[in-house]
Structure 1
């Protein structure tokens, strides 16, 4: 379904910054600079961004619009049951460096991540890594599209991103996750898994929305629409037509994930 078939009078255009990598921080910066009407963010507004808006004479408002999750992507040929949150942390902090350490083959782990300006990266660092830093072995890739391509061609690779950007992919395999070794694995997709060789001919894997909603899946979060409160047209559009805009964003977001 095309978003514009649902609401033909709503015109959404994706604006990418000419030099900065895409991400929540970049989107909010563009909103502060008056380059876009509103921003979609995978994290809440920072205090520094609230202060920057106040200096410029307006306020920022965040509207929670959806439940989201972080999915883990690996090469389709990797044979592994899943990862615990502790194992995932140890991979990205450099304590685990070979898939054989977590029940997989004797294969070097090659971790990828988005840059620090990404809201997803900030959330992952705070939620999974805690007080620790990323290992020097982690390679930072500007976009999810590029990272998915690298995972698809690198057997030892691992990458994390918003679930809609991973689960529906035909190039990579999403991994089940568990809170701990004594807890069951939960998939970010609706079982059974559609193997990459059967995708998309037999359809695409679909999001396990119920697990995200009930938080039985280990890594969940909220998505926000960020608007400027300055009394101008963009604020009124965001507030009076917000419900319709958010539905369109949801459809558009899903379409974008399917096209990566």
Structure 2
């Protein structure tokens, strides 16, 4: 089994080493194609107006000056073009990718591109706490990642589905188990605009985050609930975003 690994945190990110270890627990044929620079939050963007620079950083390890989407395309269509990968792994992201994160996440996008190419694809993310932000506990991902991937790959992944896996911020022995979940919804009041001035007095802005005065209790069965309860969250995400229920109502409305 040939596995192509990517991420959105960059070629030197600690989580990329973790996803490589997970991949090597499943196969000896592992290839790494990751962004040269941090691409967090770029979503499923594709470089069309800028050239892609490819750099070999080691045996079967390549850096692309582009997005996670670019990396998967370069890996599958150029580097491995004579023998396409069988599986795409994207991650392990430093920080969870749940709820609305899946829209913004470059980690999810790397897996989405694998799915578009017709390959079973997984996005892997490691939650951290305020205390473990600088040094996330990767052991949960290392212990639970390989058996989860092995079971899902053996069972088969539908052609238009991405498997989004999030590991809780705790030691493996504290993990309550594994739950198949649905995408949750979070209070987005934590987004803020931070205005500052540069050395010449001109304004510039950062999109940032602030602590919520009140944290909503996540709905049971969601990815947010699973992590809060110390479960590994496994969420199948469909590539087809058609709202079937509203489509029927809209059809009747527009007759």
TM-score by length of 2: 0.31
Greater helix proportion: 1
Does 1 or 2 have the higher relative contact order (CA < 8 Å, sep 6+)?
1
TM-score by length of 1: 0.31
